[in-house]
Structure 1
Amino acid sequence: MQPTLNIIGSGHLAQTLGRLWQGHRSLELRDVLSRNAGNAKAACAFIGGGRPVDDYADLFAADITLIATPDDQIAGCCEQLAASGVIRPGTVVFHCSGALPSTVLAAAAERGALTASIHPIRSFASPEQVAQSFAGTWCGAEGDPAALAVLRPLFTGIGAQLVDIDPAAKTVYHAAAVFACNYLVTLLDVALQAYRHAGIPEAVAMQMMAPLVNKTVEQTFNAGTTAALSGPIARGDMATVATQQAAVTAWDADKGALYAMLAKETVALARRRTTER
């Protein structure tokens, strides 16, 4: 007999996971709850199943409940879920936040639920596209072992790769993804600003950067960060680094401070490479 699932939230992640599980017939989707009845209906239409509801009092009990709301609403939604009376001992309640630990689901745990968090490490900006390419997605998992024993097969069944994470370090874990993704984009934007300051049009700068960035990323994932490091610091040319830092600071003090901070981290990386060799 298939486990039953309720989803609280009707956003992109809720739609994508719901559609994947519906398509794989991994479970029986019961209710999709959203404060906006129209959003709940739209989510069910995209998923291809489920009953749209807009009130916790209308929820049927389910074996598993996914709270797929924005992070700042997860704890409050869990409290409302607990107050609704649909949680039974052994019910699994989980969320997919990368920043919050499973302990934010304490209200459900107090009612006998098994709580966990499984965080897919990718963007869900386009549910249609993600549903087609989800296989291979890494997911950070933590929480009650009994809850994870139920959830792991559901995620691996749609192609996810799970890695256990320490809930006490979850904020730093999530920051790692921000460094690797969001701040990488910001750093590339700073490079574009520097090129523009040097008189190079953005369109040309993008073409100049593309092979450099792509090759660097390729080398990093093929050989590791220490082996992929190149440039003046890797060569020990600190005079060039000092000249660049002064020039960048003269152009923009904040960018100069960022250059100095990155230079300090790069010196440490270069030292690690020397030690490894």
Structure 2
Amino acid sequence: MQTRPLTLNIIGAGRLGKTLARLWQDRGIFSVAGLCNRSRESTQAAVDFIGAGDVYSDIMSMPEADCWLIATGDNEIATSAHRLAERFSARGSLKGTTAESRPLIFHCSGALPAAALNACRPAAIASAHPVHSFADPERSLTTLQGSTVALEGDDTGTQVLRGAFAMLGCDTLSLSPEQKLLYHTGSVMACNYLTVLLDLSLQTLAAAGIDEQTARKLLEPIVTQTVRNNFALGPAHALTGPVARGDAETVQKQLQALQKTDRAIAEIYRQLGLAGVELAQKTDLSDNQANQLQSILREQAK
């Protein structure tokens, strides 16, 4: 006998929330019931994208559901949880319920623990952070598969979420609350700061007189290949360029050029260069070459 899909309400159905809801709804994993965003317009847009669910203007008026996803910004998760707890209390939703029948409340923050939802207890609480960029929800519908999702929280909650993400083709990773912040920081450095680094590269190419469209076309093949090399070979063996070669003269000239163009970018280049020297020493960079590079990179900061 086939069981019905669990019902799902979403508070804050932005890019992440509406993408997950659409995928779960399309695959019959969850049945999306109610959505509540800051504005009625954005909530309706999320309903249209998902192809299911009803618009609600506030948390208090939302229907009952088996699961609740709070997909707001990190600074609003605890506030939304308290508001949801008030709703449960006002309706007596959790009175007389067994542990098995209590709803699951979860968020998708990478930095916050499931405990940010403690106001909703005795409901089950959990967190599920997909290591994926949801910048383009339409694209994420086809690219989320294969991503890893970090789970943390109550066993009953993480068990439900493990199954829900597995059905989307995602791997899962179990974390403790103490691990989450550094885990998320590592993800931010590889993903968000890679984007910042590419923007700084585009700014530097613009200073060389190269328009953005040409620069992006120029960078795409080498950046894409570099990413592949890093995961195939490891960072130490993927590192190339003047630091990896011990080319102190080129590093010095590049720093001097950046100092004349943009001192802030020059400082970032210097710091990354010093980190690059340490990385290059794991392979072929000699101590003498490393000392020369470090001297130049440290001297430029004075």
Task: Quickly name the TM-score band, shorter chain normalised.
Answer: 0.7 to 0.9
Match of 1:210 in 2: 220
Q: Any residues of structure 2 matched to 1:86-165 within 5 Å, and which?
A: 86-87=93-94, 89=99, 90-108=102-120, 111-165=121-175
Q: What amino acid does structure 1 have at the position aligned with 2:13?
A: S
Question: Take 1:61 and 1:223, find their aligned partners in 2: how far apart are those partners?
Answer: 50
| SS of match in other structure, 1:118 | strand
Question: Take 1:196 and 1:128, find their aligned partners in 2: how far apart are those partners?
Answer: 30
For the aligned residue pairs, the C-alpha RMSD in angstroms reads 2.5
Match of 1:238 in 2: 248
Q: 1:236 to 1:129 in 2, by over 3 A?
A: closer
Corresponding position: 1:63 with 2:66: yes
Question: Take 1:230 and 1:42, find their aligned partners in 2: how far apart are those partners?
Answer: 46
1:142, distance to aligned residue in structure 2 (A): 1.5
| SS of match in other structure, 1:168 | helix
Question: Take 1:48 and 1:193, find their aligned partners in 2: how far apart are those partners?
Answer: 40
Find 1:14's aligned residue among 17, 22, 25: 17
Match of 2:84 in 1: 81
Structure 1 residues not aligned, in runs of 5+: none
Question: Take 1:186 and 1:10, find their aligned partners in 2: how far apart are those partners?
Answer: 26
What's the % identity of the aligned pairs?
39
Match of 1:219 in 2: 229
Structure 1 residues 69-98: Cα deviation after superposition (integer angstroms, max 9, x where no partner)? 222211111001111123455421100112
Q: Any residues of structure 2 matched to 1:172-191 within 5 Å, and which?
A: 172-191=182-201
Larger deviation, residues 183-192 vs 96-105: 183-192
1:229, distance to aligned residue in structure 2 (A): 0.9
Larger deviation, residues 118-127 vs 141-150: 118-127
1:102, distance to aligned residue in structure 2 (A): 1.4
- The answer to whether the 8 Å contact 2:132/2:144 transfers is no
Question: Take 1:106 and 1:167, find their aligned partners in 2: how far apart are those partners?
Answer: 13
Structure 1 residues 167-206: Cα deviation after superposition (integer angstroms, max 9, x where no partner)? 3242332232332223223222322333343444544444
Question: Take 2:268 and 2:114, find their aligned partners in 1: how far apart are those partners?
Answer: 34
Match of 2:47 in 1: 44
Q: 1:38 to 1:195 in 2, by over 3 A?
A: closer
Q: Provide runs of 4+ in structure 1 moved above 4 Å.
A: 199-204
- The answer to whether the 8 Å contact 2:66/2:103 transfers is yes
Question: Take 2:46 and 2:197, find their aligned partners in 1: how far apart are those partners?
Answer: 36
TM-score (ref. length: structure 1): 0.86
Question: Take 2:117 and 2:169, find their aligned partners in 1: how far apart are those partners?
Answer: 26
Q: 1:274 to 1:141 in 2, by over 3 A?
A: farther
Report the count of equivalent residues: 273
Larger deviation, residues 155-164 vs 165-174: 165-174
Q: What amino acid does structure 1 have at the position aligned with 2:194?
A: L
Question: Take 1:235 and 1:269, find their aligned partners in 2: how far apart are those partners?
Answer: 12
1:274, distance to aligned residue in structure 2 (A): 5.3
Match of 2:288 in 1: none
| SS of match in other structure, 2:282 | helix
